Structure 1
Amino acid sequence: MVHVPRWQLVRARPEVLAAAALAGVVAATALRLDRPGIGWLIAMTGVVIAVAAVAVRQDRPLDWPWALAAVALMGVGTVRAAEWLFVLCALASCGSLSLAVTRVRTLHGILLGGMAIPFASLSGLGWVGRGLAALGRRSGHRVNPRLVASVAVSLGLLVVFGALFAGADAAFAELLLSAVPKVNGGNTFLWLFLFLAVGLSTVGACYLLAVPLPAVNQSSPARSSLRRLEWALPVGALVLLFAAFVAVQIVTLFGGSQYVLRTANLSYADYARGGFWQLAAITVLTLVVIAVVARLAPRETERDRLWLRILPGALAVLTLVVVASALTRMWAYQEAYGFTVMRLLVQTCELWLGAVYLLVLAAGVRLRGQWLAQAVVGTAVAALLGLAAINPERLIAEQNIARSVHNHVLDSYYLGGLSTDAAPALATVDAPWARCRLHGMARDVLEEDWRSWNLSRSAAREQVLDARC
Structure 2
Amino acid sequence: MTIAPPQPARPTPGDFWPRRAWRRDRTSMAPRPIVLAAVAAGVVAALTLQVTVVGLGYAVTGAAVAVAVFATRRTMPSAAQAAAIFGALALLAVLGVRGAGWLAAVCVALSWVVGSFALVGGRTWTGLAVGSFALWFTPLRVVRWTRRGARRWHSTGKVPVGRAVGVAAVSAVLLLVFGSLFASADAGFAELLGKAAPSVHVSNPFGRFVLGVVVCGGTLGAAYLLRRTPRVDAFAPKPGRPVARWEWAFPLALLDLLFLGFVIVQLTVLFGGSSHVLTTADLTYAEYARQGFWQLLTVTALTLVVIAVAVRKAARVDAVDRTLVRVLLGLLCVLSLVIVASAIHRMSLYENQYGYTRLRVTVMVTELWLGLVFALLIAAGVRLSGRWLPRAVLASAVGGVLLLAVIDPDAYVAGKNVERFDETGRIDVSYLSSLSVDAVPALDRLPEPERSCALYRLARQVEDESVWYEYNAARDRARELLAAHPVRSCDRVARGNS
Does the TM-score normalized on the shorter chain lie above 0.5? yes
SS class of match (1:57): coil
Structure 1 counterpart of 2:392, one-letter code: A
1:103-182 map, 5 Å: 103-139=121-157
Gap change, CA 1:270 and 1:313, over 3 Å in 2: same
Gap change, CA 1:43 and 1:294, over 3 Å in 2: same
1:406 correspondence with 2:423: yes
Task: State the match for 1:372 in structure 2.
Answer: 389
Gap change, CA 1:285 and 1:445, over 3 Å in 2: same
Gaps of 5+ in 2: 1-11, 13-18, 162-199, 489-498
1:266 correspondence with 2:266: no
Checking the alignment, whether the CA contact within 8 Å between 1:81 and 1:420 is kept in structure 2 is yes
Structure 2 counterpart of 1:467, one-letter code: P
Structure 1 counterpart of 2:84, one-letter code: W
Task: State the match for 2:245 in structure 1.
Answer: 228
Structure 1 counterpart of 2:389, one-letter code: L
Gap change, CA 1:445 and 1:219, over 3 Å in 2: closer
Task: State the match for 2:486 in structure 1.
Answer: 467
Checking the alignment, whether the CA contact within 8 Å between 1:338 and 1:400 is kept in structure 2 is yes
Deviations 1:75-109 (A, max 9, x none): 00111001110111011111111110112221111
Match of 2:378 among 330, 351, 361: 361
Checking the alignment, whether the CA contact within 8 Å between 1:105 and 1:217 is kept in structure 2 is no
1:37-76 map, 5 Å: 37-54=55-72, 56-57=73-74, 63-76=81-94
Q: CA deviation at 1:361?
A: 0.1
The worse-fitting range, judged by mean Cα deviation, of 123-132 and 110-119 is 123-132
Distance in structure 2 (CA, Å) of the matches to 1:352 and 1:92: 15
Gap change, CA 1:42 and 1:135, over 3 Å in 2: same
Match of 1:423 among 437, 440, 452: 440
Number of positions where the alignment pairs a residue of Structure 1 with one of Structure 2: 427
Task: State the match for 2:119 in structure 1.
Answer: 101
Task: State the match for 1:453 in structure 2.
Answer: 471
Checking the alignment, whether the CA contact within 8 Å between 1:106 and 1:218 is kept in structure 2 is no
Distance in structure 2 (CA, Å) of the matches to 1:59 and 1:7: 24
Q: Report percent identity of matched pairs.
A: 40
Distance in structure 1 (CA, Å) of the matches to 2:457 and 2:56: 23
Task: State the match for 1:308 in structure 2.
Answer: 325
Q: CA deviation at 1:409?
A: 2.8
Q: CA deviation at 1:30?
A: 1.3
Task: State the match for 1:242 in structure 2.
Answer: 259
Q: CA deviation at 1:14?
A: 1.2
SS class of match (1:383): helix
Checking the alignment, whether the CA contact within 8 Å between 2:376 and 2:389 is kept in structure 1 is yes
1:81 correspondence with 2:99: yes
Distance in structure 2 (CA, Å) of the matches to 1:436 and 1:467: 12
Q: CA deviation at 1:220?
A: 7.0
1:185-264 map, 5 Å: 187-214=204-231, 216=233, 222-264=239-281
Task: State the match for 1:433 in structure 2.
Answer: 450
Deviations 1:209-239 (A, max 9, x none): 1211126179776343212111000000000
Q: CA deviation at 1:185?
A: 9.1
Checking the alignment, whether the CA contact within 8 Å between 1:117 and 1:204 is kept in structure 2 is yes
Deviations 1:382-441 (A, max 9, x none): 111110001110100111111223326311111111121111111111122313543543
SS class of match (2:273): helix
Distance in structure 1 (CA, Å) of the matches to 2:96 and 2:406: 12
Distance in structure 1 (CA, Å) of the matches to 2:291 and 2:223: 48
Q: CA deviation at 1:127?
A: 1.8
1:382-393 map, 5 Å: 382-393=399-410
Normalised by the length of structure 1, the TM-score is: 0.86
Deviations 1:117-162 (A, max 9, x none): 232245422222222232222228999xxxxxxxxxxxxxxxxxxx
Structure 1 counterpart of 2:56, one-letter code: I
Gap change, CA 1:68 and 1:349, over 3 Å in 2: same
Checking the alignment, whether the CA contact within 8 Å between 2:54 and 2:96 is kept in structure 1 is yes
Gaps of 5+ in 1: 144-182
Distance in structure 2 (CA, Å) of the matches to 1:186 and 1:242: 59
1:19-38 map, 5 Å: 19-38=37-56
Distance in structure 1 (CA, Å) of the matches to 2:402 and 2:452: 31
Deviations 1:148-180 (A, max 9, x none): xxxxxxxxxxxxxxxxxxxxxxxxxxxxxxxxx
Gap change, CA 1:122 and 1:65, over 3 Å in 2: farther
Checking the alignment, whether the CA contact within 8 Å between 2:429 and 2:453 is kept in structure 1 is no
Checking the alignment, whether the CA contact within 8 Å between 2:99 and 2:437 is kept in structure 1 is yes
Distance in structure 2 (CA, Å) of the matches to 1:60 and 1:49: 12
Distance in structure 1 (CA, Å) of the matches to 2:257 and 2:343: 19
Match of 2:398 among 364, 378, 381: 381
